Amino acid sequence: MNMRKILVLLVLLVAVVGFTMGQACAATTTIKMGNHKDIGSKDRILTFYQAKDAQNVKGVYAAIFYHDKKKGDDFRPHTYVLRKMTVYYKNKKGKVITRTATANTISGRMLLSTKKINGYTPYKAKITYSKMTKKEKRIIMNPLF
């Protein structure tokens, strides 16, 4: 092989490894509707279903926040943020459909939601989360946010 082909293959290898590492840094967990899960560093993910208009609009929600038994709760996460949520819905006949929500804003990285689907009931959510970047932490931990 000549030097040019080796260089091209090396660049492709670095690109593939870089894309793979980006996905490997994210973790995924499945949570039944209405439950919570501690994911480490005292951060907790909570899922809930709002069937009627009330404090929140009708739909399915996943929220991440800091939970400490001694200090109490903080509405902001301290280590992790949400990236994506896939909600599984089931109807009376057993048909399953999914809806996905992705975090596009800083506030979306703390609370994700999908709309209510008539005739279907959500039963679980698959949630992808990852560690905060320095930029995200600087914004989220700002007291003016």
Summarised one tens digit per residue, pLDDT across range 7-47 is 777 777 776 665 555 545 789 999 999 999 999 889 999 99
Report in angstroms the alpha-carbon separations of 66 from 19, 128, 140.
29, 17, 12
pLDDT value at residue 6: 77
Mean pLDDT, the chain, as a whole number?
A: 87
Is residue 48's pLDDT more than 80?
yes
Is 63 in contact with 108 (CB distance < 8 Å)? no
> If pLDDT is split at 50, 70 and 90, which confidence band does 53 have?
confident
Is residue 125's pLDDT more than 70?
yes
Please tell me which of 25-34, 53-62, 85-94 the model is most confident about, judged by mean pLDDT: 85-94
pLDDT value at residue 16: 64
Is 43 in contact with 137 (CB distance < 8 Å)? no
Distance separating alpha carbons of residues 103 and 85, to the nearest angstrom: 9
pLDDT value at residue 57: 84
Please tell me which of 14-23, 44-53, 120-129 the model is most confident about, judged by mean pLDDT: 120-129
Strand partners, 86: 100, 126
